[in-house]
Homo-oligomer: A and B are copies of this chain.
Amino acid sequence: MEIAIPLFDRFTALDAIGPYQVLSGLPGANVRFLGPEPGAVRSDNRMLTVLVDGRWEDASAPDVLVVPGGVGTRALLGDERLLDWVRAVHEQTRYTTSVCTGSLVLAAAGLLDGLDATTHWMERDTLGELGACPVPARVVEQGKIVTAAGVSAGIDMALRLVELLTNAEIAQAIQLGIEYDPQPPFDAGSPEKAPAETVELVRAAIAQSEAEAEAAAG
């Protein structure tokens, strides 16, 4: 079972690591992190550096594709090299998936045209502009395409993927292995639940970090 997770400059770490932690528990799984080129790839806030030994195209026929998000996805929406690879592997995957703004990449590749899909709550409009039908759900399944909401939603999605790829018993065993019995100290994890002023605060903070990333990218 080959699982490919393409990384890129300014990816969001938990988008990639949540599904990796779950999917690497699949019997016989081989999770490969890939980059634009072999070498160092840095996260959105520059605090984490992942070393990859292969480029995206080195995964030519993964069973599962997981595209993470992050402010770096903005620069990828016109990256024909990445989009060509995504389209090519999608032909052969068992599941083509995304976390957070990774779904914008799937949409830019034309895979979500007219399909329900989800993304980080702040980018639902962008997802719609790219041809998908944004749904405010944590995980959206459309045939073999599965999209997850922002950042932490990739953990929930990956457990569902394990069930789809094997069975509920193995998914539950992996859940127990990572002791995923979430007990967040607050109930503020979605814009529908958080206080309105918190939503505005986060909206402003993320818009600022996107502007900074765009400025840094020239």
A173 touches B201 (CB 8 A): yes
Is B156 a contact partner of A178 (Cβ separation < 8 A)?
Answer: no
In the complex, the answer to whether B188 meets A175 with C-beta atoms within 8 Å is yes
A145 interface residue (CB < 8 Å to B): no
Tell which of B24, B180, B187, B193 touches A184, judged by Cβ atoms closer than 8 Å: B180
Q: How far is the CA of A176 from the CA of B155 in the complex (A)?
A: 16
Q: Given the complex of chains A and B, what is the CA–CA distance between A191 and B111 in angstroms?
A: 40
**Neighbouring B residues of A186 by C-beta, 8 Å:** 159, 168, 171-172, 175
Once bound together, how far apart are the Cα atoms of A100 and B179, in whole Å?
Answer: 9
Instruction: Give A175 to B156 CA distance when docked, in angstroms.
Output: 16
Give bound CA distance, A184 to B25, whole Å. Answer: 16
Q: How far is the CB of A152 from chain B (nearest CB, A)?
A: 4
Of B21, B171, B189, B199, the residue contacting A185 (CB under 8 A) is B171
| Inter-chain contacts of A75 with B (CB < 8 A) | none
Q: Is the CB of A202 within 8 A of B189?
A: no
A194 within 8 A of B: yes
How distant is A90 from chain B, measured CB to nearest CB, in Å? 22
Chain B hits for A149, CB < 8 A: 179, 181
Q: Residue A195 at the B interface, CB < 8 A?
A: yes
Does A10 reach chain B (CB closer than 8 Å)?
Answer: no
Task: Determine whether A92 belongs to the interface, using a CB cutoff of 8 Å to chain B.
Answer: no
- Are A181 and B189 in contact (CB-based, < 8 A)? yes
Residues of B within 8 A of A188 (CB): 172-173, 175-176
Binding site for B on A (CB under 8 A): 12-14, 17-18, 20-21, 24, 30-33, 40, 45, 47-53, 100, 120-121, 138-139, 149-153, 155-156, 159-160, 163, 168-169, 171-173, 175-191, 193-195, 198-199, 201-202, 205-206
